[in-house]
Chain A
């Protein structure tokens, strides 16, 4: 039977590197997709994911076992994504370097990633959905991503985000309403 998160963390705290690798493998997919949906593209997913796990590794000695590991990991991931979004906004204001050789190289590198599922929608249509998701406020986007993509229950979302259950219900409802209004044209097609 696979060890639970807390058992793995205790092993890591005792110096077991192998346990950390197991923890990385367990959560790398969720972290990658969370970054992808929050940041809005897949160029920097691997770099940000690496930073997330290194930050986790450095902070694990201080982990207090008073919340689920995922909610802690989620906070670290989201904070790094927010930093990344901020940096991008600053870069956009300062220059137009996001079409430089560096970004093209990243684009080429990105093509090496395999998309695990066969996309039902064409690439353009996916961009419309992704763009609508990016236009939501962070509060709405995070509940929708946790609900629709990570398939979390309302209780899990409440625990992860530190919200009351009623607030989760209300945010999900509003996020859906907002998403619908952003995708009005799309739904007419």
Chain B
């Protein structure tokens, strides 16, 4: 086994990850190789130093704070799934109703004065008269007055 191959094994040896014949090979190699002995020494030193970096301890109330945030997150998602779509749908329904009411009102406003003018002019022949007679309430007194005044 080459020195390079042994080096890989030595790293595993430091971690206690090899056993049996492989471990024996490493131990034999370490007897004769100062470079690899130094590698083992350094690896153990690095471990010690990384572990000595200290432990971060979160505040005692950390888990309580996380639970509070988790509940908030639940509430937000409930709001999103429940109340928000309901509000949005209601808004759409109201807006649609208002739009159609507006359209209907505009249509009626236009229709009556036009009909009154046609009736006075006689421009539509008998059709305007027929429409007024067949649909009572189509023409109001105000429509007629307006048509006469503007004539």
Contacts and interface: CB of A to CB of B under 8 A. Distances in A.
A115 B62 contact: no
Nearest to A145: B50
B141 to A, nearest CB: 68
Interface in A15-56: 17, 20-21, 24-25, 28-29, 32-33, 35-37, 42, 45-46, 49-50, 53-54
Nearest to A151: B51
A88 interface: no
Interface string B1-16: 0000001100110010
B15 A54 contact: no
Most chain A CB inside 10 Å of its own CB: which residue of B54, B59, B63, B71: B54
A148 B56 contact: no
A113 B19 CA distance: 41
B73 A58 contact: yes
Contacts of B63: 21, 24-25, 28
Contact of A115 (B7, B12, B39, B55): B55
A36 B71 contact: no
Contacts of B33: none
B47 interface: yes
Contact of A154 (B15, B55, B69): B15
Given A149-B50, A183-B46, A154 B12 contact: yes
Contacts of B50: 37, 129, 133, 144-145, 148-149
A46 B71 CA distance: 18
The 6 closest A-B CB pairs, nearest first, are A173-B11, A116-B55, A148-B50, A115-B54, A24-B63, A32-B56
Given A129-B50, A129-B53, A154-B17, 15 more contacts: A17-B71, A24-B62, A24-B63, A29-B55, A29-B56, A45-B58, A49-B58, A49-B62, A50-B62, A53-B66, A54-B66, A119-B52, A148-B47, A176-B42, A180-B42
B66 A50 contact: yes
Nearest to B17: A154
Contacts of A33: 55-56
A120 B52 contact: yes
B68 to A, nearest CB: 10
Contacts of B7: 173
Contacts of A116: 54-57
Contacts of A46: 58-59, 62
Contacts of A25: 63
A169 interface: yes
A148 B51 CA distance: 7
Nearest to A53: B66
Given A21-B63, A153-B17, A50 B55 contact: no
A78 interface: no
A179 B42 CA distance: 9
16 contacts: A29-B58, A45-B58, A46-B62, A49-B58, A113-B57, A113-B59, A116-B54, A116-B57, A126-B54, A129-B50, A148-B47, A153-B17, A154-B17, A170-B8, A173-B12, A176-B11
